[in-house]
């Protein structure tokens, strides 16, 4: 039961930490994106760089790399943006897979408790000539309680895992769209200058 409890506490801690760090204002503040795009349209590249440096969001770090490569070939800008984007994606996905692992481990720990309870039942049966139902109750109780506890932890953990996975994927996809638009703006601005 203690390992199942540990899994439960760890799953809740990971979920809360990821919810806090995957807030839109932390990852993808749209007001920053709009402001940087407007600065690029006006040709204020140094101001756009400064604005990205002042913000600590994931999108700011990605946009900064693209803007710093202003004037280079599209493929070069895109390569730099993708490299930083991969790093930021990995940061966003951090610990999320751990929830999937915890869900699986919790289920298996519940099953392990079931097996342990069954071993106790068969041990009682093998040592007693006349089996007293009360002596079997301890093993049956252990089997049912650990199975229940394992599933009680695993089911919500799977829901938390899927929620965070979906949220992370949506943020990554939206960041990709903004980055593609920023690269297009940079190349468009370069063509006008």
Burial tier of 139 (Cβ tally within 10 Å: 0-12, 13-18, 19+): buried
Burial tier of 52 (Cβ tally within 10 Å: 0-12, 13-18, 19+): buried
N- to C-terminal Cα distance for the chain?
68
Determine the average pLDDT of the residues in 13-29. 95
Tell me the C-alpha distance between 167 and 2, whole Å: 31
What pLDDT score was predicted for residue 193? Answer: 57
142 has pLDDT over 70: yes
124 has pLDDT over 90: no
What pLDDT score was predicted for residue 148? Answer: 94
CA-to-CA dists, residue 9 to 98, 104, 110, 188, angstroms: 13, 15, 16, 51
Determine the average pLDDT of the residues in 149-173. 96
Give residue-wise pLDDT tens across range 49-82: 999 999 999 999 999 999 999 888 888 999 999 9
Give residue-wise pLDDT tens across range 74-106: 889 999 999 999 999 999 999 999 999 999 999
């Amino acid at each position: 039961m203690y390992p199942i409890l540990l899994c439960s506490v760890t799953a809740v801690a990971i979920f809360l930490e990821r919810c806090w760090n995957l807030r839109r204002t932390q990852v993808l503040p749209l007001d920053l994106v709009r402001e940087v795009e407007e600065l690029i349209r006006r040709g204020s590249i140094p101001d756009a760089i400064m604005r990205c440096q002042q913000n600590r969001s994931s999108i700011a770090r990605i946009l900064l790399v693209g803007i710093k490569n202003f004037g280079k070939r599209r493929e070069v800008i895109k390569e730099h943006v993708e490299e930083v984007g991969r790093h930021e994606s990995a940061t966003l996905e951090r610990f999320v897979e751990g929830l999937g692992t915890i869900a699986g481990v919790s289920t298996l720990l519940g099953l392990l408790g079931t097996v342990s309870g069954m071993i106790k039942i068969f041990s009682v049966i093998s040592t007693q000539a006349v089996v007293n139902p009360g002596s079997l109750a301890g093993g049956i109780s252990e089997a049912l309680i650990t199975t229940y506890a394992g599933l009680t932890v695993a089911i919500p953990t799977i829901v938390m895992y899927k929620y965070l996975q979906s949220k992370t994927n949506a943020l990554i996809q939206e960041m990709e769209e903004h980055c593609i638009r920023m690269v297009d703006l940079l190349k468009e601005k370069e063509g006008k200058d």
